[in-house]
């Protein structure tokens, strides 16, 4: 079963994402901050990471730098999930090295589309 790590500091957002993704057949893990995300990524590299950008401690950009700086993890797809939806934000996120972008509030159709771009449910 393909594994997705949700990195989000708000419990209700994690719960919504988890519910939708589990219904699609994915195994889901959660991290509530950047440090916890890095531990989980290093322990069991997920197939996909959905990363909030504004996290306590290490933010999403900092976590992404750590992932991209590790040769064993560098190709891991990491999709930004963010309330940053101003003109140019999408381009800035992709230029920083994220493999995808989902704006908040999350449209479930967009979530499914973006996840299915990188993974296929079993």
Domain ranges of the chain: 3-114
Put simply, whether the predicted model's pTM sits higher than 0.85 gets the answer yes
- Rounded Cα gap, residues 17 and 52, in angstroms: 12
Question: Mind listing the pLDDT tens digit for each residue in 46-64?
Answer: 999 999 999 999 999 999 9
Choices 3.30.450.20, 3.40.50.2300, 1.20.1300.10, 3.50.50.60: CATH for 3-114: 3.40.50.2300
Lookup result for tokens 């999403």: 60
For residue 56, give the DSSP letter: S
Q: What is the pLDDT of residues 75-108, one digit of tens each?
A: 999 999 998 766 788 899 999 999 999 999 999 9
Q: Any idea how long the chain is? A: 122
Q: Per DSSP, which regions of 1-122 are E strands?
A: 3-7, 27-31, 48-52, 78-82, 100-103
């Amino acid at each position: 079963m393909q594994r997705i790590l949700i990195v989000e500091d708000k419990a209700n957002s994690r719960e919504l994402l988890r519910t939708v993704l589990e219904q699609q057949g994915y195994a889901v893990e959660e991290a509530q901050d950047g440090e916890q995300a890095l531990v989980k990524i290093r322990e069991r590299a997920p197939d996909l990471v959905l990363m909030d950008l504004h996290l306590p401690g290490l933010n999403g950009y900092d976590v992404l730098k750590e992932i991209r700086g590790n040769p064993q993890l560098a190709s891991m797809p990491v999709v930004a999930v963010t309330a940053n939806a101003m003109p140019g934000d999408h381009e800035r996120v992709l230029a920083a090295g994220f493999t995808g972008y989902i704006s908040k509030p999350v449209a479930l159709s967009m979530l499914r589309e973006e996840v299915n771009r990188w993974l296929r449910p079993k």
